[in-house]
């Protein structure tokens, strides 16, 4: 059975950084599932058709990390048919030997509810806004407003809302360095792997 780690949490909490580090350290595949939604949104046209026809080249677009792509992804992620079209892709990815680290919004609750380890990564709104503003070279106050709107939309959607799985380990990165957050995640993964 592949070793699967599910990492969820709001934007700019540090989940992507932690996921990449875990995948590298544990030699597992990595999928930033948000890229699937961003690529679907940026592809244009009917979102359901875009999700069903998503190809590897769509995940390589340079504009996927923009704030606009993130907002558009959050909007189309609320469409049940879009989610359904991308769920199977994610589940197949997770089952590749020797395993995978997937990060997103509903990995531990919907995509991989049987993951060996579920992390829910959080940080304060202000810390997340400062991180994203530094990453994008944008105004932190504007980013804070966008993050809060996105969190509200992601948490209130009818299908697969943003929330921690009941058995998720919550990791608050507000006051942690990247190295400290990664170290805590690696320790949790090693405990989970030893118990698996």
Spell out the domains of the chain, with CATH numbers in brackets.
Answer: 3-187 (3.40.50.300)
Mean pLDDT of 135-148: 91
Contact of 72 with 38, CB cutoff 8 Å: yes
73 labelled ligand-binding: no
The reply to whether 17 sits in an annotated binding site is: yes
Mean per-residue pLDDT, 43-61: 90
In this predicted structure, what is the pLDDT of residue 196? 53
**pLDDT at 181 (0 to 100):** 97
The reported pLDDT for the residue numbered 161 is 82
Q: Which of 5-9, 67-71, 126-130 has the lowest mean pLDDT?
A: 67-71
- Ligand-binding annotation for 11, yes or no, is yes
108 assigned ligand-binding residue: no
Strand, coil or helix: 123: coil
Return the structure tokens found at 182.
């990664």
Q: What angle do CA 156, 162, 109 make, to 5 degrees?
A: 125
The stretch 84-113 carries a mean pLDDT of: 93
Residue 52 confidence (pLDDT): 93
Q: Is 9 part of any known ligand binding site?
A: yes
1-10, 72-81, 181-190 — which is least confidently predicted? 72-81
Q: What is the mean pLDDT of residues 168-174?
A: 97
Beta carbons within 8 Å of 147's beta carbon, 6+ residues apart: 10, 11, 12, 125, 128, 129, 132
34 marked as part of a ligand binding site: no
Question: Any known ligand binding at 14?
Answer: yes
User: What confidence category does residue 34 fall into, taking pLDDT thresholds of 50, 70 and 90?
Assistant: confident
Cβ(16)–Cβ(104) below 8 Å:
no
Tell me the pLDDT of the chain averaged across its residues: 92
118 is in an annotated binding site: no
39 marked as binding residue: no
Long-range contacts of 187-193 (CB under 8 A, 24+ apart): 188/117, 188/119, 189/5, 189/22, 189/26, 189/117, 192/5, 192/116, 192/117, 193/3, 193/26, 193/116
Mean pLDDT of 162-189: 96
């Amino acid at each position: 059975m592949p070793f699967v780690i599910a990492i969820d949490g709001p934007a700019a909490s540090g989940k992507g950084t932690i996921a990449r580090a875990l995948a590298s350290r544990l030699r597992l595949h990595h999928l930033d599932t948000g890229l699937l939604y961003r690529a679907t949104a940026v592809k244009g046209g009917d979102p359901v058709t875009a999700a069903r026809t998503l190809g590897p080249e769509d995940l390589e677009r340079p504009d996927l990390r923009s704030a606009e792509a993130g907002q558009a992804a959050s909007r189309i992620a609320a469409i049940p048919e879009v989610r359904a079209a991308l769920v199977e892709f994610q589940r197949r990815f997770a089952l590749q030997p020797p395993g995978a680290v997937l990060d997103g919004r509903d990995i531990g609750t919907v995509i991989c509810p049987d993951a060996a380890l579920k992390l829910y990564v959080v940080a304060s709104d202000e810390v997340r806004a400062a991180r994203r503003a530094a990453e994008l070279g944008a105004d932190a106050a504007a980013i804070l407003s966008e993050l809060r709107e996105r969190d509200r939309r992601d948490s209130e959607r009818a299908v697969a809302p943003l929330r921690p799985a009941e058995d998720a380990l919550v990791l608050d990165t507000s006051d942690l360095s990247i190295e400290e957050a990664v170290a805590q995640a690696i320790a949790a993964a090693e405990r989970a792997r030893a118990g698996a």
